[in-house]
Amino acid sequence: MLLFVCLCLFSIINAQDQRSAVYNEAEARELLNLAAAAYAENPLPCLNRTLPSGAKWSIFKWTNNTDCDLFGDTCGFYSIVDETNNLITVVFRGTKTTEQLLTEGLDSSEPKVNFYNIGLNYDVTFTGHSLGAALASLAALRTVLENLRNGNQIKMVNFGQPRVGNVDLAMKHDQLLPYSFRVVHSMDIVPHIPACAKNHSVEQDDSSPCNPDNKKKSYHHGVEIWYPNTMNPGDQYIECLGQPTDEDFSCSDKNTFSLNSYQSYIADHRHYFEVEVPSFGETGCNLNDPEGDYVEQGIFG
């Protein structure tokens, strides 16, 4: 069993609004804008509206609409170098994970790359929405495994991330990347696929918790931040530190899903912090047009 710093000192989170100083909603809102920008043909309008005007930042790499499979699906990423805050931010968008894209994204944290004479003192933040979030989580883990940065230099804040890997990968991720949050909006269905193995000895409202003893099925890593209702400023959110670890059954894992409500689950997936993420990015993160030219599409955008 892989070593893991246990979070069991925390009691199981109940329905009350329980928060700590660790998760930073202001930071998450800024990163959501950056994740939305990855859907745009040009991320600069979003970045200009989001990043502090006094900061000295630039786009270091930008790859958009990279072919990811034989079916014409595309993915992309961009990275920002912030010389004011000694920070690199790597943002992924994608429908399929490819070795090429991960490698290119990781180049943004390679010490051998000439970041205008920037060195290893720069921290790295990874983010993304939907399957872009899955890419970001894998890139963050690989950055540590390849000794490009230590885990304390990395933050990961993702939105609507599907499960990536099994419980062994999850525990290794938690061990190596202590600042790792998965933001989940209400009934977003994507964080619940692929399905985990269920512990059917426990049942509540036709739902059962994930079984961390099963190593064959998918299992989440990182701390879930669940917004059970809406995501306006000041709305309730829960840091899900209960059991099972990373799959807290008092948070979104307790939800049950019905085929009849499929469209509402997709709407929750595409809407974070009260904006329609892909369209919001395409409008340049214009808060006067949070829905953009929203047209109902597939589950991953």
- Encode pLDDT of 126-147 as tens digits: 999 998 999 899 999 999 998 8
Is the dihedral angle over the CA atoms 274, 280, 284, 288 positive or is it negative? negative
Q: Is the peptide bond before 233 cis (omega within 30 degrees of 0)?
A: no
Question: Annotated catalytic, 129?
Answer: no
Distance CA 79, CA 127 (A): 10
- How much is the pLDDT for 72? 59
Domains, the chain, with CATH or none: 25-282 (3.40.50.1820)
Residue of 73, 242, 222 whose CA lies nearest to 162: 222
Contact 31, 47 (CB under 8 A): no
Task: Name the phi and psi angles at 51, rounded to 5.
Answer: -80, 145
Considering the entire predicted model, what is its pTM?
0.84
- How much is the pLDDT for 208? 92
Residue of 3, 44, 27, 4 whose CA lies nearest to 285: 44
Residue of 82, 123, 174, 188 marked active site? 188
**DSSP assigned state of 83:** T
Distance CA 129, CA 289 (A): 19
Q: 275-276 and 271-272: which strand pairing?
A: antiparallel
Question: Annotated catalytic, 82?
Answer: no
Residue of 185, 192, 220, 269 marked active site? 269
Q: Give pairs for 104-108: CB < 8 Å, separation 24+.
A: 104/61, 104/63, 104/77, 105/61, 105/77, 105/79, 105/135, 105/139, 106/139, 106/142, 106/143, 106/146, 106/148, 107/61, 108/60, 108/61, 108/79
Question: Annotated catalytic, 220?
Answer: no
Which of the residues in the chain have pLDDT under 50?
A: 1-19, 21, 96-98, 100-101, 104, 108-117, 294
Q: Is the peptide bond before 278 cis (omega within 30 degrees of 0)?
A: no
Residue of 108, 130, 250, 279 marked active site? 130
